[in-house]
């Protein structure tokens, strides 16, 4: 089981310890060595903070998991769950501020439950999960059925295409996240950043 503790981090499966927001890269790497598989991500079709001419675009890239930081490239697989980690913005680049969790079998049932407050976020239908989340929940974008729960620092992604399907990806944010020099936006850059500037635009 992997357990999400809002504002704290995640308890890793198999007694591997607690991955805490605010941890340094070396602390994170040590904890993730307990994973089934650990490797370093590569820079591919992504930019670093320094490559963006405007902070708001780097912020948007970070929020969507596209910002490349050579210090935070560890990718860890626990059974069928893949964890990615990222430091924060300019105010906290050396502290864990973002955790991504992806199910290797999208649409399937995880063999490792991802739990918040006793609810398996990947183990029930998307609709059932949303019904027990605390308000306010909102779509992550106007045209999206992804769900953001700001009080929990949680975004559920890869929305179901039909009733009864399950979530298969989530993003967890710790606070402070270091992006305060850009804006106060959570899960969305309030200054209208576009992480694709410099890549496709």
Q: What is the mean pLDDT of the chain?
A: 89
Could you give the 3-state DSSP secondary structure of residue 159? coil
pLDDT tens for each residue of 95-129: 999 999 999 875 567 789 999 999 999 999 888 99
Flag whether pLDDT at 22 surpasses 90.
yes
What per-residue confidence (pLDDT) applies to 108?
A: 65
Q: Domain spans of the chain? A: 2-173
Range among 99-108, 156-165, 177-186 rated most confident: 177-186
Torsion of CA 170, 176, 179, 185, to 10 degrees: 60
Q: How far apart are the first and last CA of the chain?
A: 41
Contacts 24+ apart (CB under 8 A), 133-141: 140/187, 140/188, 141/188
Residue 13: pLDDT band (50, 70, 90) is: very high
pLDDT, mean of residues 142-159: 81
Residue in 109, 121, 128 with CA at minimum distance from that of residue 172: 121
What per-residue confidence (pLDDT) applies to 118?
A: 96
Residue in 187, 190, 164, 2 with CA at minimum distance from that of residue 83: 2
Flag whether pLDDT at 58 surpasses 70.
yes
Residue 162: pLDDT band (50, 70, 90) is: low
* pTM, entire model: 0.92
The region of weakest confidence among 19-28, 75-84, 140-149 is 140-149
- Alpha carbon 63 to its chain's center: 8
Q: Do 47 and 67 touch, CB atoms closer than 8 A?
A: yes
The CA-atom distances, in angstroms, between 142 and each of 56, 63, 145 are: 20, 17, 8
What per-residue confidence (pLDDT) applies to 46?
A: 81
- 141 vs 36 pLDDT, higher one: 36
pLDDT tens for each residue of 82-93: 999 999 999 899
């Amino acid at each position: 089981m992997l357990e999400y503790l809002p504002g704290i981090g995640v308890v890793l499966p198999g007694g591997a310890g607690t991955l805490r927001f605010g941890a340094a890269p070396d602390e994170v790497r040590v904890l993730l060595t307990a994973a089934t598989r650990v490797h370093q991500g590569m820079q591919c079709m992504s930019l670093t903070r320094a490559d963006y001419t405007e902070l708001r675009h780097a912020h948007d890239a970070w929020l969507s998991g596209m910002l490349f930081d050579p210090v935070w490239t560890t990718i860890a697989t626990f059974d069928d769950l893949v964890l990615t980690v990222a430091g924060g913005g300019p105010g906290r680049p050396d502290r864990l501020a973002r955790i991504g969790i992806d199910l290797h079998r999208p649409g399937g049932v995880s063999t490792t439950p991802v739990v918040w407050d006793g609810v398996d976020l990947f183990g029930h239908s998307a609709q059932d999960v949303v019904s027990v989340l605390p308000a306010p929940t909102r779509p992550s974008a106007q045209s999206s059925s992804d769900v953001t729960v700001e009080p929990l620092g949680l975004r559920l992604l890869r929305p179901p295409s039909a009733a009864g399907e399950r979530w298969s990806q989530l993003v967890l944010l710790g606070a402070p996240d270091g992006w305060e020099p850009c804006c106060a936006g959570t899960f969305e850059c309030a200054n209208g950043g576009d992480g694709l500037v410099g890549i496709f635009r």
